[in-house]
Amino acid sequence: MTQPHATDPHVLLSSAACVFFDFDGPVCRLFAGHPAAGVAQRLAARLEALGRDPAPVAVSVRDADPLGVLLAVRKHYPQDRALMAVLEEQLTEEEVVAAGSATPTPGAAALVRALAAAGTRLAVTTNNSPAAVASYLARDGLGPCFDGHIHGRGPDPALLKPDPDCLHRALESTGVAAADALMIGDSAADRLAAGKAGVPFLGYAENAEKYGRLRNAGAEVSVSTLEGLVRAA
């Protein structure tokens, strides 16, 4: 069931045999109650406590970007696997805490349930921790809809999106051809990863700034809300 080239989001969705959701954004606002700024600051403090210079992560701390902290540490300490493991473990713990107070994206749960009820396979393809994703999905009763297909951050930050690694794993686990899948994402990294994997893409742009970033990354089709997609599921 190869998807046609379409500019109608409803056609894209109804043509997909499997839908991949990015997590933080399309499914929920992960750090709504446990701010990302504090997470990034604590990661930097841990880095300093371990005797490393926190200067390389200063930009990511300023931007409230915990994943950016991981990427900066890998870049500046590429051989220090033990350091990466410590920071990865701390970030995972922070994300699991955040999942407990994450705010659902309007329309996301209804869309997930409608797609699952229609027999569409579902997967999560995210740069966040699989443990945090599983915790949130269990909290909102969405876990069975994804049937264990959670493909998140592994030990190597180099494989975070825009690398297509998590999409390749999702394609393998669901047994769906790339052209028959659809990814819903809200960042340029999502769009680029989908393109590299050959997976059609539907942008979720809740504001003009995100729409512009997605458009600049090559996203041809975006929606400002997921609520209107439920009828196409």
Indicate if 22 belongs to the active site.
yes
Distance CA 121, CA 43 (A): 36
Q: Which two tokens stand for residue 17?
A: 């045999």
- Name the phi and psi angles at 184, rounded to 5: -105, 115
Distances (CA, A) of 33 to 27, 89, 104, 153: 15, 20, 12, 21
The catalytically annotated residue of 8, 22, 24, 163 is 22
Question: For residue 90, which of 123, 128, 43, 55 has the smallest C-alpha distance?
Answer: 43
57-69 as b/e: b if 16+ CB within 10 A: beebbeeebbbbb
| Active site residues per annotation | 22
